[in-house]
Amino acid sequence: MDNRDTLIEVRNLKKFFSIGDNTLKAVNDISFEIKRGETLGVVGESGCGKSTAGRTLLRLYDATGGDVLFEGKSIMNLNNQEMKAMRRNMQMIFQDPYASLNPRMTVGDIIGEALDIHGLATGQKRKERIQELLSLVSLNPEHMNRFPHEFSGGQRQRIGIARALAVEPKFIVCDEPISALDVSVQAQVVNLLEQLQEKMGLTYMFIAHDLSMVKYISDRVAVMYLGKMVELAESDALYEKPLHPYTQALLSAIPIPDPEVERNRERIVLQGDVPSPMNPPSGCHFRTRCPKAMPECAASVPVWKEVEPGHFAACHLYN
Ligand code: SF4
């Protein structure tokens, strides 16, 4: 992993929203890299800022602060024309495939639209490319004249994937792409994403709300809580030795298939609800629910630190 070069570098990224007199700090100063060809999983409860982070990173939202570099080049100050060219490299797959597909357009036109915007193919070539993309995601190329409602949920997500792939991107933000699907279909979509990654050398940021979902697809996993990144590590290290009390609690909630292990292990039940992101606790945002909170946790914000090689955490236990 360390030998791979960096495709995306995120530096101190912030995205704040003004709501009345209040400021919602949806993404509050996060920094990380994504290596070429890897999958970075990003996990957290709803409202933690993971989807906003994905969208801000692609400039679907304007950042409040910080920088995003793609292949070493900042995308933050690109003009519309330059950003349009950059969008070919960076695509998104959405959580709700039905809401993200125009119900009045045929599947061929939904996928073809991406080709048109970037002037990639016309006429017969366009048709052939659409059929090729449908085959790539294991849909019947003959169905290009059908409408989204004629497909199942899993098939619609495949259409969303084909649309993202039409412009031959290098990087895809997958925003909870399987959360809305039946459990039986989830594994198929994950397998498809993995096959495509191998075939096309894709790099993914895979956003999910629970750790069990990202375990198998991610090379590294980041955990977010109330707009902050609290831990980031190689998947194995994160699952075997989570450092942050929040990650420990999330992992303790995942059932283990072995009944003996399941019976004897400690389960950490978090007290209280997630505080409002409008008014997060002082110091460490997790302190109101943390079983290991100490006086200093209220006084100062824990520093994001490389505690072990490649294993980062923001917690006073390690500061
Ligand atoms: Fe818990 Fe304190 Fe660490 Fe926050 S900084 S996770 S409150 S021990």
Query: Which residue has the least CA distance to atom 7 on ligand 1?
Result: 287
In CATH, the number for domain 3-89+169-318 is: 3.40.50.300
Inter-helix orientation angle 107-117/123-136, to 10°: 120
Residue position matching structure tokens 């980031």 = 232
One digit per residue, the tens of pLDDT, for the chain of length 319 reads 456 799 999 999 999 999 998 999 999 999 999 999 999 999 998 889 999 999 999 999 999 999 999 999 999 999 999 999 999 999 999 988 778 899 999 999 999 999 999 999 999 999 999 999 999 999 999 999 999 999 999 999 999 999 999 999 999 999 999 888 888 899 999 999 999 999 999 999 999 988 887 888 999 999 999 999 999 999 999 999 999 999 999 998 887 777 777 777 777 878 778 888 889 999 999 999 999 999 999 999 999 999 999 999 999 999 8
Per-residue pLDDT at 2: 52
Distance 13 CA to ligand 1 centre (A): 22
Ligand 1 pocket, CB under 6 A: 244-245, 284, 286-287, 290, 292-294, 297, 302, 315-317
Residue nearest to ligand 1 atom 3, measured at CA = 315
Read off the pTM: 0.93
How far, in Å, is the centroid of ligand 1 from the Cα of 72? 34
Nearest ligand 1 atom to the CA of 284 is 4
Strand partners, 35: 6
**Distance in Å, CA 310 to ligand 1 centroid:** 20
Phi and psi (nearest 5°) for 285? -60, -20
C-alpha–C-alpha distance, residues 200 and 301, integer Å: 41
Please count the other Cβ atoms lying within 10 Å of the Cβ belonging to residue 308: 12
Nearest Cα to Cα of residue 304 among 54, 51, 65, 29:
29
Which percentage of the chain shows pLDDT scores above 90?
81
Among 153, 172, 151, 152, which Cα is nearest to 161's?
172
At 180 the pLDDT is 84
Burial 148-185 (b: 16+ CB within 10 A, else e): beebebbbbbbbbbbbbbbbebbbbbbbbbbebbeeeb
SS (HEC) of 142-188: HHHHCCHHHCCHHHHHHHHHHHHHCCCCCEEEEECCCCCCCHHHHHH
Domain locations along the chain: 3-89+169-318, 102-168
317 C-alpha to ligand 1 centroid (Å): 7
Evaluate whether 99 touches 153 at the Cβ level (below 8 Å): no
CA 173 to the chain's CA centroid: 5
79: left (phi over 0), alpha (psi -120 to 50) or beta: beta
Q: Which amino acid is at 100?
A: S
